Amino acid sequence: MLRPQDTATRERKSLTGLWQFALDGAGEGRSAEWFRRPLTGAREMAVPASFNDIAADAAVGDYVGDVWYQTTVRVPRGWDGRRVVLHFESATHRATVWVNDAEVVSHEGGYTPFEAEVTEHVQAGAEARITVVVNNTLSFQTIPPGVIEDTPDGKRQRYWHDFFNYAGLHRPVWLSATGRAHLTDVSVVAGLDGADGTVQYRIEAQDAAGAQVRVVLRDADGAEVATGTGARGTLTVDNVHRWAPGDGYLYDLEAQLVGEGGEVLDSYHQGVGVRTVAVDGTRFLINGEPFYFTGFGKHEDLPVIGKGHNDAYLLHDFELLKWIGANSFRTSHYPYAEAVLDCADRQGIVVIDETAAVGLNMGLGGGIFGGQGYTTFSPETVNDQTREVHAQAIRELVARDKNHPSVVLWSIANEPESDTEAAEHYFKPLFELTRELDPTRPVGFVNVMLAPYGKCRVSQFGDVVMLNRYYGWYTQTGELKAAELAWEEELEGWAGEGKPIIVTEYGADTYPGLHSVPPQPWSEEYQVAYLDMNHRVFDRIDAVVGEQVWNFADFATTSGIMRVGGNKKGVFTRDRQPKAAAWALRRRWRRDD
Ligand code: BDP
């Protein structure tokens, strides 16, 4: 699948804006065929945005079930005879779409794109009604998992991940047009050969009998540096400008479909960063150079719009990453909007790209997130069907993000149960699948403190060890000396595995404006002292090749006695103001300043 673009042969029309929106508490909309007419009793809803916080109403905020979105779009007059596609960058967690009265597509999984050709259902120059039923229910057969419980307060969605279950149309929606003969996929794999670069490409097309593929690679100034013909090939770039952390240099690969008479039937542009990634012993190499990750686990989370994509915050967050000296982040705990990865490509920020497999661990929670009393892996809970949904989520993530130079590592799950035989059986094939889909990037998963060194049975499959640890917070709370000893001892164990270690989470909840001498948990001073302790440990262990603080910013969670207006481990507040820790990290990460 190719993202909609405006090119010499393609057009796109954005469907963002205000749509009609209705809750379907009785679950009657599908059988009553609400898509056949304007939604009755609808209110307006912004797209892109989570629907939850827009209305000041718990019945919307905590709603579980089907919600309906509807809009009308006038198909441009000039699209007569064109192939028309309706493209959703995401619908959380699943959706079915109708164009006028025709059902055109359904999709499972809240963070990857899907589309349908709708040519036969629309007419150039006429309006088309687009109706989407989005469903936010989580079960043991979804990624992430959850269960619904009936309570005196109504239907409640329980889940084992620590962020609010925002839902809706979080990302842009597009109507786009191509010619009948069109490109359907572009894959690139870059390599280095001394000072030169190589770009292997593979182009796919449809309804293109008799047409030829031509590719043109241009540098950032638009100068042609290599050309090729045929659906597959390798281009060489003399004296290549490498993509590197802090230097997001991109070439542009234009793929063209050329007709028998030499006419360009389709043209698509793909940014290409020429860089390599490898793991060598305990080192993580980018372009053959050891790389040390600094940065954060993030969230897509904002006041009012929840997980809705917002370009202003996108840029502001990247400015703050630069300000603080971060060179990387993890897309905890789901694939982020594609615009985020584009920005990382352009700005030379390194990304650990994660699936939405979070909360596959019934050992976690202890009353924090609720819903205890289940076994993680069993025929009734996380089972073979869940694994297939998980596998599909990995396929869609790799298909979507394979060409981003910023993505250097796949994280196939966050903190799953990993100390049991069942976990080993569940995960082995998923690692194999990821490697088969992308042999060019290392693969890992994020290990939880319940499966410490010596107990984990899944880390054997990873190329790197990714650890989330809260010594000095969830354990040894307020006792940083004890925490330091215990943390170092565990890390020494992992270092013996001979793989690079990235600490993907360490953090302490901090209430902004709370101060104390001596530093007490929840105070800004404690967050600083806690981070300092962690850094002393990391600096003593060579195998540690990265530190990503939990979290970049405070974020919304379900209510609970462990959460004060959400998770407060942010180094920035939810509205992106720095806590004392932000200045401390800046001093460590930007030694130039
Ligand atoms: C880890 C999770 C993360 C949580 C964090 C925390 O990976 O999603 O938000 O702990 O407790 O278990 O703050």
pLDDT tens across 493-535, in order? 999 999 999 999 999 999 999 999 999 999 999 999 999 999 9
Distances from the Cα of 515 to the Cα of 59, 468, 509, 587, angstroms: 37, 26, 13, 20
- Which protein residue has the closest C-alpha to ligand 1 atom 3? 162
> What distance in angstroms lies between residue 64's CA and the mean position of ligand 1's atoms?
23
Q: What is the CA radius of gyration of the chain?
A: 24
Question: Tokens for 531?
Answer: 């981070």
Distances from the Cα of 194 to the Cα of 149, 217, 248, angstroms: 60, 19, 19
Cα–Cα distance between 122 and 97 in angstroms, integer? 14
- Give the range among 146-155, 244-253, 274-283, 436-445 with minimum mean pLDDT: 146-155
Ligand 1 atom nearest to 332, measured from its CA: 8
Ordered by where they begin, the domains of the chain are: 11-178 (2.60.120.260), 182-275 (2.60.40.10), 278-589 (3.20.20.80)
Ligand 1 atom nearest to 448, measured from its CA: 12
Task: Select from 123, 176, 126 the least CA-distant residue to 9.
Answer: 176
Residue pair 306/50 in contact (Cβ under 8 Å)? The answer is yes
- pLDDT, one tens digit per residue, over 105-163 is 999 999 999 999 999 999 999 999 999 999 999 999 999 999 999 989 888 999 999 99
Catalytic pick from 108, 115, 300, 415? 415
Residue pair 326/295 in contact (Cβ under 8 Å)? The answer is yes
- The preferred substitution site among 159, 162, 569 for testing ligand 1, maximizing ligand atoms within 8 Å of CB, is 162
- Looking at residue 82, its amino acid is R
Residue with tokens 């149960």: 417
Which residues is 185 bridged to in the sheet? 204
> What distance in angstroms lies between residue 413's CA and the mean position of ligand 1's atoms?
13
Write out residues with Cβ below 6 Å of ligand 1.
162, 333, 414-415, 468, 505, 550, 567, 569
- pLDDT, one tens digit per residue, over 181-229 is 999 999 999 999 999 999 999 999 999 999 999 999 999 999 999 999 9
pTM score above 0.95: yes
To the query of whether residue 436 is one of the catalytic residues in this protein, the response is: no
Cα–Cα distance between 63 and 217 in angstroms, integer? 49
Residue 364: per-residue pLDDT: 80
Residue 372: per-residue pLDDT: 64
- Which protein residue has the closest C-alpha to ligand 1 atom 9? 162
> What distance in angstroms lies between residue 551's CA and the mean position of ligand 1's atoms?
9
- Which protein residue has the closest C-alpha to ligand 1 atom 5? 162
Residue 365: per-residue pLDDT: 63
Summary mean pLDDT of the chain: 96
What is the SS3 assignment for 44? strand
- Which protein residue has the closest C-alpha to ligand 1 atom 1? 468
Q: What are phi and psi of 13, to 5 degrees?
A: -130, 125
Residue pair 267/8 in contact (Cβ under 8 Å)? The answer is yes
| pLDDT confidence tier of residue 411, bands split at 50, 70 and 90 | very high
Cα–Cα distance between 73 and 17 in angstroms, integer? 11
Question: Tokens for 549?
Answer: 């603080």
Is residue 361 scored above 80 in pLDDT? yes
> What distance in angstroms lies between residue 477's CA and the mean position of ligand 1's atoms?
16
- pLDDT, one tens digit per residue, over 443-465 is 999 999 999 999 999 999 999 99
- The preferred substitution site among 164, 298, 415 for testing ligand 1, maximizing ligand atoms within 8 Å of CB, is 415
Residue 369: per-residue pLDDT: 47
DSSP type of residue 132: E
Is residue 387 scored above 90 in pLDDT? yes
> What distance in angstroms lies between residue 558's CA and the mean position of ligand 1's atoms?
13
Task: Select from 381, 408, 391 the least CA-distant residue to 276.
Answer: 408
Virtual CA dihedral for 308, 338, 551, 287, nearest 10 degrees?
-170
Is residue 370 scored above 60 in pLDDT? no
CA angle 532, 534, 537 (to 5 degrees): 110
- Which protein residue has the closest C-alpha to ligand 1 atom 6? 162
Dihedral over Cα of 20, 21, 22, 28: its sign: positive
Q: Give the helix/strand (H/E) hosting 70.
A: strand 66-74
To the query of whether residue 505 is one of the catalytic residues in this protein, the response is: yes
Residue 63: per-residue pLDDT: 96
Residue pair 500/284 in contact (Cβ under 8 Å)? The answer is yes
Residue 367: per-residue pLDDT: 42
The answer for residues whose C-beta is within 8 angstroms of residue 561's C-beta and 6 or more apart is: 367, 368
> What distance in angstroms lies between residue 162's CA and the mean position of ligand 1's atoms?
6
